[in-house]
Structure 1
Amino acid sequence: MRSTFGAWMSDASELNEGRYWQAEHFSGRLLTEHMNISAFEDTGIKTTDVKRFYQGCGHVIYKESFYFHNAGTHRLIKFDLNTMRTKTLIMAHSRYNNLTYLFRNSKTYFKFAVDENGLWVIFASNTGDNTMVAKLNPKTFTVESIIKTAYPTSKAGNAFIACGVLYITDSTDRRVTYAFDLKTQSPLDVSFDLRSANGILAMLSYYPNKELLYMWDNSSVKTCKVKFKQTKT
C-alpha cells in the first residue's frame, strides 16, 4: 500500500460479498470501493466522500454502512453507503483528542469491531486509563451496554473482538497478551504470537463471516486465518 496507515474492509455481515473498501491514512474523508482483493492496486470502481473527516484506523463496514470516528470530536458516525445519510452517536466520558489515543501505534481513539454477537466499539475512558467496550445497536445506532475492562490503554497496541472475547496486543503488536470475556466480564489467561515483523500494525480486525483477521501491517494488507480450539467440558 502507498500509506503506512489505513484500513481495508469488507462488509462484516453477509452483504456485499466480494467487495472491499479502503480508507487510506489515519485522517481523511474518502472511502474507495474495489471490486475484489486483486483490484487493490487499481484506482477503485468508486470513491465516496463521507462528508466528515475520520480519525484513526478503527473503522468497519457492517450491513452496508461505514462506521467511523469523527475526528476531533466525541462523535461516532454511521454512514449509509446506499443513501449517503449519516447518523451520529455521542460517546460521553471518552478520550477523543490531544493525542490521548486508545491505540497510540495506529493513532486511533475509537476502534469498531464486529463479531458473532454484532457491533461493538472499543474506546478509552477519560477518567483513568481504562479500556472500555460498548455494545452498539446498529439499527438505532445507540449504546446497549458499556463494559469496563480495567486494562490500561498505555499497555495496549491494538485489539479485536471474536466470539464475545476482547483480545489485546502488547505495545509492539507482536503478541496477544490479554483477553477479556465480555459476557462474564472477567479476564482470560491468553498469550500467543500474532506477527514476527517490526514496524507499524495500523489495523487489526476480525471478520466473523470469514473467520479471518484483516491487517494493515508494515504498509501491506494481510489476512490471518482464525481457528477456534474446542475444549471439552
Structure 2
Amino acid sequence: MLALLPLLCVSCLLLGAQGQERATMWRGNDRSGRCQYTFSVSSPTEASCPTQAGGEEMETLRSRLSLLEALVTRLVGGEVGARGATGPGAVTPQQQHHQQGLQEAYRQAMGEKTQLQREKKQLDRQVQELQRRLEESQQEAERLRSRPCMGPQQDSSLRPVGGSVGLPHLVPSGQTGSLRDPTWSYGAPGYQELKAEVTEVPAPTPAGTADSTGCGELVAIEEPTTHRKADTIAGKYGVWMQDPEATGPYSGSMVWRIDTVGSDVRQLFGYEDMEQLVRGYPTKVLLLPEAVESTGATMYRGSLYYQRRRSRTLLRYDLSSESIAARRDLPHAGFHGQFPYSWGGYTDIDLAVDEQGLWAIYSTNKAKGAIVVAQLDPYSLEVLKTWETNIRKVTVANAFMICGRLYTVASYAAVDTFINYTFDTATNKGSAVSVPLKNKYRYNSMIDYNPAQKKLFAWDNYHIVSYDVRLARQQQRA
C-alpha cells in the first residue's frame, strides 16, 4: 500500500504535465465584482464543437429574412388599408375623403390669403397716390389763396393775347368781392359736354351790296379779333357781353364775363372797358344768388338775364340793386340736356338781344326738337310771341338774333364753318344760307350779337373773341 502511493503521485504529475499543453486558466472579476477562476481544456477527440446547421451564415440569413418579412408585412398592410381593409391602422374611405377635403380647403384658403395680400398692397398704393394728390391739391389751393389781389401776374384765369400789362384801375370804395379772376376749383367740375358730328359743306363768299349801318340781313362776318385767353380750365367756355342799352350805375362800355365751367356757377365779373378786360383786373365781382346754367346769358337795359341751373326758370338780375328782379318759367322749354346745341354744355335755353329786344332760343317736346324762338318782355320775362322753325336745335352748333332774324351756325369745331340757316320772324319763313364764319380755336361755345356795336361776341376754346358783321341795306330785306 505504501508502495502504491509514490506511484500514484508520479502518475498525477505525468498527467498534469501532459494537461498543461491543453489547459488554460483565466482569472477575472465577474459582473458583481467577485474574483472568478475559469479553466479551458481542449477536447482530446473533437477538433471543433458541433453547432446548429449553417452557423453564422444561417444567423445572417435569418436576420435578413426577418427584415424582409417586416417590410413585406408593412407593404401588404398599406395596400390592404388603401383598399378598405379593416384593422387598427386601416384608413376608411370616409376618413380619406375628409382628409382630401381638408387639404383642398387649406389650399383654397392659402390661395385666397395670397390674393387678399396682393389686393391689400394694391389698395395701399392707391391710398398713397390719393393722399399725394390731395396734398398737392391742398398746396396748390393754399398757393392760390395766398396770392396778392393786385399785381402784374395776378390774373390767373385770363391773360392778354399781346402787349404789356398796365396798372389796373382802383376799385371804388365800398365795393366788395375779389379783384382776381377765378382760379380752377379742384372739385369735380362736370364738363357737361356732348359731342356731335356735323357735315361740312364748302360755302362761297356772298356777293352783293352791303352796309354797316341800319338794320338788315347778315351778308358777311369778318375775321375774329382775339381779346383774351383763359389760363385755367374754368375758362374753357363761358359767356361775355356788353349792355347795348345800358342804364346806371354802369355804362355801355362795361364788359361782363361769366366762366361757365363748374357745377355751381355764380360769379359775374365786370370790367370798366375792353382795355381793362385785356389787362385782366375786374373792377366789380358780383355773386349771383342762384347758379347759372350754361352759356345762354345776356345783358340788356341794366339787367343780367340767365337760366337758373337745372330748370326752365328764367331770371332777371338787376345790376343796380344786385338782386333778382323777376323770374318766370319758359313754358314747355326743354332744359338740362333735352334740346342742347350740338356741342352740348346744357345749352337748352339761349337768351339773345338784338335791335328788336330780348329773345329766347329753345325747343319743346311739341316742336320735336325744332328750334322755337320767343320774344320776351324784358321787365317781366313774359312770352310775347313764339315762332317754330323747321331746323332741329341739336343739328346746329349755336344761334343768335339780328334784326328779328334767327341765324344758326353749322359747326362749333371746324375752323372754316358757316351760317347755314336763317328764320325771319317778320315773314315767318326760314331758308338756307351760306355766310362763312371762322372758328379760329376750334371750340366755339357761345355766339351773341351786340346791336349797339354791330359785332358778334364769341367764346372760342378759352379765347374771348369778337367779329365785325356786315348787314345788307334795309330795302334789300324781303
- State TM-score, norm by structure 1: 0.93
Unaligned 5+ segments in structure 1 are none
Give the structure 1 partner of residue 274 of structure 2: 37
Task: Tell me the SS of whatever aligns to 1:203.
Answer: strand
Quote how far apart the aligned CAs of 1:106 are: 5.4
Give the structure 2 partner of residue 8 of structure 1: 240
Give the structure 1 partner of residue 363 of structure 2: 124
Give the structure 1 partner of residue 302 of structure 2: 64
Give the structure 2 partner of residue 20 of structure 1: 255
What are the equivalent positions in structure 2 for 1:31-180 lying under 5 Å apart? 31-40=268-277, 41-86=279-324, 87-97=326-336, 99-105=337-343, 107=345, 108-127=347-366, 128-172=368-412, 174-180=417-423
C-alpha distance in structure 2 between counterparts of 1:166 and 1:25, whole Å: 24
The structure-2 alpha-carbon separation of the partners of 1:171 and 1:101, relative to structure 1 and needing over 3 Å to count, comes to farther
Quote how far apart the aligned CAs of 1:198 are: 5.4
Q: Which amino acid aligns with 1:160?
A: F
Q: Which amino acid aligns with 2:290?
A: R
C-alpha distance in structure 1 between counterparts of 2:406 and 2:381, whole Å: 21
Quote how far apart the aligned CAs of 1:42 are: 2.2
C-alpha distance in structure 2 between counterparts of 1:64 and 1:103, whole Å: 28
Q: Is the 8 A contact 1:121 1:133 kept in 2?
A: yes
C-alpha distance in structure 1 between counterparts of 2:468 and 2:477, whole Å: 23
Q: Is the 8 A contact 1:56 1:106 kept in 2?
A: no
Unaligned 5+ segments in structure 2 are 1-228
Quote how far apart the aligned CAs of 1:175 are: 1.2
Task: Tell me the SS of whatever aligns to 1:100.
Answer: coil
The structure-2 alpha-carbon separation of the partners of 1:213 and 1:232, relative to structure 1 and needing over 3 Å to count, comes to closer
Task: Tell me the SS of whatever aligns to 1:38.
Answer: helix
Give the structure 2 partner of residue 213 of structure 1: 456
Of 29-38 and 8-17, the range deviating more from structure 2: 8-17
What are the equivalent positions in structure 2 for 1:175-214 lying under 5 Å apart? 175-197=418-440, 199-214=442-457
Of 119-128 and 177-186, the range deviating more from structure 2: 119-128
What stretches of structure 1 move > 3 A for 4+ residues in a row?
A: none
Q: Which amino acid aligns with 2:258?
A: A
Bigger share in helix? 2
Give the structure 1 partner of residue 133 of structure 2: none
Quote how far apart the aligned CAs of 1:101 are: 3.9
Q: Is the 8 A contact 1:213 1:225 kept in 2?
A: yes
C-alpha distance in structure 2 between counterparts of 1:73 and 1:232, whole Å: 37
Q: Which amino acid aligns with 2:320?
A: N
Q: Is the 8 A contact 1:32 1:47 kept in 2?
A: yes
The structure-2 alpha-carbon separation of the partners of 1:43 and 1:104, relative to structure 1 and needing over 3 Å to count, comes to farther
Quote how far apart the aligned CAs of 1:217 are: 1.2
Q: Is the 8 A contact 1:129 1:152 kept in 2?
A: yes
Higher-Rg structure is: 2
C-alpha distance in structure 2 between counterparts of 1:115 and 1:213, whole Å: 11
Task: Tell me the SS of whatever aligns to 2:471.
Answer: coil
Bigger share in strand? 1
Q: Is the 8 A contact 1:170 1:176 kept in 2?
A: yes
Q: Is the 8 A contact 2:439 2:460 kept in 1?
A: no
C-alpha distance in structure 2 between counterparts of 1:7 and 1:91, whole Å: 21
- State TM-score, norm by structure 2: 0.47
